[in-house]
Amino acid sequence: MSTGTDLTRWNRAGLSRFRYVDGNAVTFLELLRAELAGRFPDWKEVITPHSTETEGERQERMLEQYHSPRRDWAWEIARVLARASHVLTEHLDAYANEGFLGTANQWDSVRRLVEMIDYHPAPPASASTRLVIDAKEAGTLPAGFAAKHTPADGSAPVVFETLEELKVDPLLNGLRPAEYNRNQERLGGELLLLEGEVEDLKTGEPLVLEDTESKILRAYLIVGTRLVEGNTEVRVFPRLSHRLRKGYTLIHAKPAERLAAIGPAAKGAELERVLRLTEEPEGLLPGMVIYLGDGAEDLYRRVFSVRGKRLVLDTDVGPLRLDTARVGYPVTLSVAAQEERPVDSPESVIYALRVAGDWSRLADRRVAQETVVVINKQKHKFLPVYSVTAARYHPVNPEDLRGGYTILTVSWKKSDHPYPLNNPQTLLAPPAGAGPWRADTYLEKKDGHLPASVITGKPKKTTADDLAVVVMGKQNAWARLASVSVDLEREEATLTAEGTWKDRGGGDFFLAETKVYAHFKEEELHIVSWQENSQPLTANRIPLSTAPTALEKGRVLMVERIDSPSSAFFSTVAKVEGKTLFLTQELPAGFSRGNTLVSGNVVLAGHGESKGGKVLGSGDATRANQSFVFAESGVSFVADSTQPAGVRAAIDLSVAGRVWEQVGSFATSGPTDSHYTVRMTEAGQLLIAFGDGERGRRLPSGTNNVRLTFRSGTGLGGNLPAGSSFKPAKPHRLVEKVRQPLPATGGNDREGVESLRENAPATLLTLERAVSLDDFAWLAMAQSSVWQARAFSRPTGLGRNDKVEVVVVPAGGGELGTLAATLTDFLVAHAVPEVEVTVLPYESSTFNLELLLTVDAVAYNPETVIAAVKSAVQDAFSLRKRKLGQDLFLSEVYQVAEGVTGVEHSVAILNDDRTIRRVASGDREVLTLDRLVVTVESGAADVPSP
């Protein structure tokens, strides 16, 4: 039996497979009383009761006589004997239970039973994970570097130590894909969404968009703005160029200067029907006739439409000197008499017209006549023009009652137009003076574009290297300025562009309507999400911004998604070509240039803290299979595929300075092999055994010559979630900080009684070799870090090798982490050759449960019953108890709930549906309880679950 000190545990068997005596202390005392009453009839303490005693009265009397104190030493001796008989019989009963694997409930008893079939309980396992080191400088980080996690609940820190040596390099701290922080999406449409709330953006002002790669500039005009979820939406004209990308576009806005455009102004132009004025012509309406004069030409046109300063005329204007041109209303002359004079040429006609007043100023000018011509029964108005060759004024004659008059000699060439001057009633003549309105000129162009230098009003802030935009209406031209030359006397400045002005629209920039915006504020504006590069990464390729030389083939890398920490995984370098990194495995879906982070300083670490060396004992060569108990609990166990349970004790044992090797058993050890085995004791300590000289070498004799060092830290407590905070246990010159992107997995407690009962017989059948699917499953469950497993066969496809998938529930649940690799190595080591093994995590599936209990509130406390039911149900349908692919039946719920003392009746509802009797589970799923609601219905009132 066990050497444990808890002697009362044998009364806690709770089993009834073996019952040698049907009784207990109460019934044993009654048997003794009856025998003593027959032998000592005068002993009043043992007098036989009346024969008419009922069974209920008999039971009540037996309890009363057992518990009642009596001042009779003989009676007290009889009661002690009854109690001793009770303890002895129960002890024998329990001892018999401990001799059968199906009923034994003491760990050491089960251990002894399974060792008969050469099965040893799986030891505990220490969690492991891969840590990312942010290096300060390049160098070699030795194995054993410790990092510490302090739980938030204030419990003892959890220490992980690196299990391998690592060459660290600061250049590998965090590698990002090329252009990771530049959005590759191209602009388009008419909307810009700027980051944040941008104030002082004014409609009509320009924005300049700069391509930060090519330095190409493009100007747009603000049409409108509004706030959208804290950002500024700007509507622009024209539509945005598709050549611009969000991540490379810098927006320059809010020009500080608005300068008048002065020159170089165009002097002459061949105008079509459109004429622009420097101001709006008040009173001018469509259909009216206007006069245009530039000092050399007299023109008459009818107005077709008026829009602000822009006039549309009925016919083209033709050549006109814009810098001197004036526009006004023509003067109407009344013609008193007309006389045609002979000329030598039949193509020419000369008229003599008499008009009242002095119009001698009309000499060498041109006059016009409004003419209506019927063409195809429709009237058309024309303004034929005639040249005044002479204008002779005749002063007032007192004898002539008609007053002064002017004889206008007017010539007309038939080749000019087909409208002769036939008895006109009125003529249109140039007005006196220059006219009320000035014609607007425009900036002169060269080869269709503005010249490099533009003259503006005097600026206050604009300097070289500033941006400037020339704007008229919806057309603009832009440039970065090479120089700004100011003329203080004329209060003008010459803005010279770097290269040429780029323009859009192709029209003229009329001076009265043109403004030059310059000196854009230094505030840099960006488009929303300009640093988000969603370009997906595919296959196993990652184009990097830089590829350090330390990024060598075979180096372990941590590949993370900054927007999804749970997607992190580790891989190794397959090769590096240029700046392109190739991994040994393909990237999962969801990785993009913008969310991918590659860390190259990655090291395997295990739960546990190194302790100093200790003396285990003294060797004695005369003894075979010498063994020692290492009286330390919590010794770490690390993954080792050569061990039967897939883990080995994290100890280094030496004998007289020579290091010995830890093996699973001495089955293959020779007489000279320095081997030792490690087993677990019931107290959780290590039993270290040595060979007998035939199977393994005996220990050489010596005093305190068996020594060891070890690491302490094991169990489920090491299974830390990803992202747990770590920091170096001690400062290290190479280490800046430590991160844990992957969960720590693989930690588990020592194999328990239930697992031993189930796994030992099944594992015996495998003979430590995996041939069938069941073999793979049982061997996986024999690994210390696994709770349960199930194996599936995969199609071989075009390959020749068998393919097996092993779905496992890791100890504590959660992700597989580093357990996937260690368990794969373990199964491959025990599988037949050329079998491809893949380890996959289980799939979680849950159900909701509502329980309505009927409880006798008089006999039981409803709240106590609720707590007991909740505990029983949560335990029965927990991840530890449910099996892969195990369906849930309503009868299971009733069995658990109504098995709790105090529950008379229950009603169970699965997933809010009273009709469900069964919830199916997939082959790779574990169906567990998610939400539980328990309500007690008593005679008085309902008591809800606390």
Secondary structure of 886-901 in HEC code, one letter for each residue: CCEEHHHHHHHHCCCC
Q: What is the pLDDT of residue 4?
A: 46
The contacts of residue 361 (CB under 8 Å, 6+ apart) are 391, 432
What are the tokens at 366? 């041109």
Residue 761 is predicted with a pLDDT of 73
User: What is the number of residues in the chain?
Assistant: 946
The H or E element spanning position 603 is strand 602-607
Which runs of consecutive H residues, i.e. helices, occur in 68-191?
A: 73-97, 107-115
CA Rg value for the chain: 52
**CATH topology classification for 753-841:** GMP Synthetase; Chain A, domain 3 (3.30.300)
Q: What is the pLDDT of residue 161?
A: 95
Does the reported pTM lie above 0.85?
no
The amino acid occupying position 323 is D
- As a whole number of angstroms, the distance between CA 315 and CA 821 comes to 88
**Closest alpha carbon to 441 in 258, 276, 327, 273:** 276
Domain boundaries, the chain: 7-97, 174-181+533-600, 191-264+442-520, 268-329, 331-431, 609-712, 753-841, 845-944
Q: Which residues of the chain have pLDDT under 50?
A: 1-21, 939-946
| Residue 344 pLDDT | 66
Tokens 């990785």 belong to 591
pLDDT score at 115: 79
Tokens 């979630």 label which residue? 721
**Closest listed residue to residue 45, CA positions, set 65, 67, 62:** 65
Enumerate the β-bridge partners of residue 543.
580
- Alpha-carbon torsion, ordered 714, 715, 719, 720, to 10 deg: -60
Give burial (CB, 10 Å; 0-12/13-18/19+) of 460: exposed
**Selection from 326, 332, 381, 391 nearest residue 358 by Cα:** 391
Closest CA to 227 of 511, 438, 528: 528
For residue 47, what is the DSSP state? P
Of 33, 52, 124, 130, give the one whose Cα is nearest residue 722.
Answer: 130
Beta strands in 287-402 (DSSP E): 289-293, 298-307, 310-313, 318-321, 326-328, 331-341, 348-356, 366-368, 371-375, 378-382, 385-394
Q: Cα(496)–Cα(499) distance, rounded to whole angstroms?
A: 9
Asked whether 544 and 523 are in contact (CB, 8 A), the reply is no
CA 73 to CA 79: how far, in whole Å?
10
Residue 400: its pLDDT value, please?
A: 63
- Spell out the residues 6+ positions from residue 184 whose beta carbon is closer than 8 angstroms to its own: 245, 246, 247, 533, 534, 535, 593
> Could you write out the DSSP letters of every residue in 130-162?
EEEEEESSSEEE-TT-EEEE--TT----EEEEE
Please give the CATH topology (third level) of the domain spanning 331-431.
Answer: Elongation Factor Tu (Ef-tu); domain 3 (2.40.30)
pLDDT score for 11: 42
Q: Please, how many CA atoms are within 13 Å of residue 12, restricted to the half-sphere of its CB?
A: 6
Query: Which residues have C-beta within 8 Å of that of residue 44, sequence separation ≥ 6?
Result: none
- Residue 545 in 3-state DSSP? coil
Look at strands 661-662 and 675-680 and give their pairing. parallel
CB neighbourhood size of 357 (10 A): 12
- Cα distance between residue 543 and residue 490, in whole Å: 58
For the record, the structure tokens of 852 come out as 């309505």
Residue 676, helix vs strand vs coil: strand
pLDDT at 607: 95
**Residue 657 CB neighbours (<10 A):** 7
Q: What pLDDT, on the 0 to 100 scale, is given for residue 14? A: 45
pLDDT of residue 190: 95
Q: Is 174 exposed, middle or buried (0-12, 13-18, 19+ CB in 10 A)?
A: middle
Distance of alpha carbon 826 from alpha carbon 775, whole angstroms: 13
Do the first three CATH levels of 331-431 and 753-841 match, i.e. the same topology?
no
Helix%, strand%, coil% for the chain, nearest 5: 15, 40, 45
**Which residue has tokens 């300083």?**
601
Select from 841, 853, 664 the least CA-distant residue to 743: 841
Distance between CA atoms of residues 142 and 836, nearest Å: 34
Residues 940 and 938: their CA atoms lie apart, in Å, by 5
> What distance in Å separates the CA atoms of residue 285 and residue 475, rounded to the nearest whole number?
27
DSSP SS3 for 623: coil
- The confidence score (pLDDT) of residue 13 equals 44
Look up residue 923 and give its two tokens: 């082959």
Angle between helix 25-39 and helix 73-97 axes, rounded to 10 deg? 140
pLDDT at 798: 64
Q: Are 661 and 674 in contact (CB under 8 A)?
A: yes
